[in-house]
């Protein structure tokens, strides 16, 4: 498996989260323990989502003490949590190294999806997205991506801070699907993404089948071609958002590097190599890309590729001027695409009341930090819960570029 950076934050030991079962067995051997101790570690790190080595009670006390001295679990802390009446929940997770990322839980009738971020910030600079406003800070390790899923699982089971708001209308649900559609471009973080996918699928890991995993890309062509050779039955979602280079250059700067005459053949190759139907994501923006002629151009662009179109009415971002399309425009666009024989869906509205689009919660917390850090913390639907210690534990300044540079959030605010 591709290499993973297990370097911990200063003062911590080797981070076990992100290691495979085989690597954990090798770690156990280096400690002078039998292989089955490594398999036990995999079970407790991934299946039980242990937050502390002291929780691993089947391990002898001497082993747990040694783990406390030499290893780390990379457990995150929930810095902010926001819920919608439909059960959608967005988390701002503080990572042990000091950065913070957003993760979303989306309930469905059949289970629940976790939307995972792959980077801190984003370099893609899409014109309608909040994630790229502060630029890219760094890529996440596989273990940090795994921790996003585990943090949600702990919350659903009630195995988190007792002051955290409880899930709204999600009783009995579990994480059944993963979508790597949060902040960042996953295919720019290819090796860590691939390691995360394999841990997510493994029976000793998260136990989520490949067919229940979706990876989204803004159109990173080398990564699409590379992923096509991996023989992984995951779903690839490609963010198009425009049917021609001129408009896509404006909305998605990545198109200047990988224009449509490179992206579409790569998509065709992926569909042919994997046998899996692609999803073409298309955010509809009022009077920008939602007209009938745009729909007809889209049909011509993707005709013949095994795939379907997922239409997404824009979730507005305060920093950008774009607006949601009228419902009639969405319906007309969908009818044109469907009439050409291309399967089309309109994304179900979820989480619009809680800054559910990428980067929105992080920026809201930053902009209102002095106030929100002292808010009443009752679990009110749609409200913003902020950890009692405020925001000082998470390095959040990357998301708010002010005229005089980055803003630091002191620990006492």
Q: pLDDT of 298-348, one tens digit each? A: 999 999 999 999 999 998 777 778 899 999 999 999 999 999 999 999 987
In a domain, 191, yes or no: yes
327 or 367, greater pLDDT? 327
Q: In terms of domains, do 67 and 121 share one?
A: no
Regarding whether 210 and 268 lie in a shared domain, the answer is yes
Please check whether residues 328 and 209 belong to one and the same domain.
yes
**Lowest-pLDDT choice from 160-164, 218-222, 295-299:** 160-164
Residue 407 lies in a domain: no
Residues 34 and 183 occupy one common structural domain: no
Q: How many domains does the chain have?
A: 2
Just list the catalytic residues. Answer: 102, 358
Whichever domain contains 249, its CATH number is 3.20.20.70
Contact, 107 vs 87, CB < 8 A?
yes
pLDDT tens by residue, 128-155: 887 877 889 999 999 999 999 999 999 9
Q: How far apart are CA 50 and CA 186, in angstroms?
A: 26
Q: Are residues 138 and 259 in the same domain?
A: yes
Together in a domain, 81 and 68: no
For residue 135, how many C-alpha atoms fall within 13 Å in the half-sphere facing its CB?
Answer: 7
* Domain assignment present for 179: yes
Q: Which of 329, 354, 379 is the last residue of a domain?
A: 354
Q: Is the dihedral of CA 261, 267, 269, 272 positive or negative?
A: negative
Looking at the structure, tell me whether residues 264 and 180 fall in a common domain: yes
Of the pLDDT bands very low, low, confident and very high (cuts 50, 70, 90), residue 34 is very high
Look at residues 354, 383, 400 and tell me which one is the last residue of a structural domain. Answer: 354
Residue 151 and residue 25 share a domain: no
Place of tokens 């002292």: 374
pTM for the model stands at 0.85
Place of tokens 């029976």: 203
* Rounded-to-integer distance, Cα 103 and Cα 361, Å: 10
pLDDT in tens, 206-251: 999 999 999 999 999 999 999 999 999 999 999 999 999 999 999 9
Q: Are 134 and 224 in the same domain?
A: yes
Same domain, 163 and 265: yes
Q: Are 51 and 195 within one domain?
A: no
Query: What is d(CA 370, CA 366) in angstroms, rounded to the nearest whole number?
Result: 9
Rg of the Cα trace of the chain?
Answer: 21
Residue pair 131/358 in contact by the 8 Å Cβ criterion: yes
Domain assignment present for residue 124? The answer is: yes
Residue recorded with tokens 């280079």:
245
Closest CA to 186 of 338, 35, 37, 358: 358
The span from the CA of 72 to the CA of 363, in Å, is 29
Please check whether residue 305 is in contact with residue 263, taking contact to mean a CB–CB distance below 8 angstroms. no
Residue 43 lies in domain: 14-72
């Amino acid at each position: 498996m591709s290499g993973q950076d297990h370097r911990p934050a200063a003062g911590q030991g080797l981070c076990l989260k992100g290691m495979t079962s085989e690597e954990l067995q090798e770690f156990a051997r280096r400690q002078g323990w039998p292989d089955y101790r490594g398999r036990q570690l995999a079970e407790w790190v991934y299946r039980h989502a242990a937050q502390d080595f002291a929780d691993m009670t089947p391990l002898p006390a001497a082993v747990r003490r040694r783990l406390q001295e030499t290893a780390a679990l990379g457990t995150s802390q929930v810095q902010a949590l926001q819920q919608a009446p439909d059960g959608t929940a967005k988390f701002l997770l503080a990572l042990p190294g000091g950065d913070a990322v957003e993760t979303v839980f989306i309930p469905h009738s059949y289970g629940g999806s976790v939307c995972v971020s792959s980077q801190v910030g984003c370099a893609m600079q899409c014109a309608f997205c909040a994630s790229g406003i502060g630029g890219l800070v760094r890529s996440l390790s596989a273990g940090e991506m795994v921790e996003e899923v585990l943090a949600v699982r702990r919350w659903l089971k009630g195995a988190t801070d007792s002051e955290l708001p409880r899930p709204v209308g999600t009783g009995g649900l579990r994480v059944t699907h993963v979508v790597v559609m949060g902040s960042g471009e996953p295919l720019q973080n290819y090796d860590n993404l691939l390691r995360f996918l394999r841990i997510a699928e493994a029976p000793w890991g998260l136990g989520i089948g490949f067919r229940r995993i979706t990876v989204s890309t803004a159109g990173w062509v080398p990564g699409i071609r590379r992923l096509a050779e991996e023989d992984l039955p995951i779903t690839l979602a490609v963010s198009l958002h425009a049917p021609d280079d001129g408009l896509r250059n404006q909305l998605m700067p990545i198109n200047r590097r990988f224009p449509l005459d490179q992206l579409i053949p790569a998509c065709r190759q992926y569909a042919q190599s994997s046998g899996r139907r692609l999803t073409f994501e298309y955010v509809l923006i009022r009077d920008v890309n939602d007209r009938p002629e745009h729909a007809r151009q889209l049909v011509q662009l993707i005709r013949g590729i095994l795939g379907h179109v997922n239409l997404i009415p824009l979730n507005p971002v305060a920093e950008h001027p774009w607006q949601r399309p009228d419902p009639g425009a969405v319906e007309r666009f969908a009818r044109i695409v469907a009439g050409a024989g291309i399967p089309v869906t309109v994304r179900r509205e979820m989480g619009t009341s809680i800054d559910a689009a990428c980067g929105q919660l992080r920026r809201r917390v930053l902009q209102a930090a002095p106030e929100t850090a002292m808010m009443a913390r009752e679990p009110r639907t749609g409200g913003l819960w902020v950890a009692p210690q405020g925001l000082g534990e998470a390095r959040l300044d990357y998301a708010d570029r002010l005229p005089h540079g980055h803003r630091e959030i002191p620990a006492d605010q």
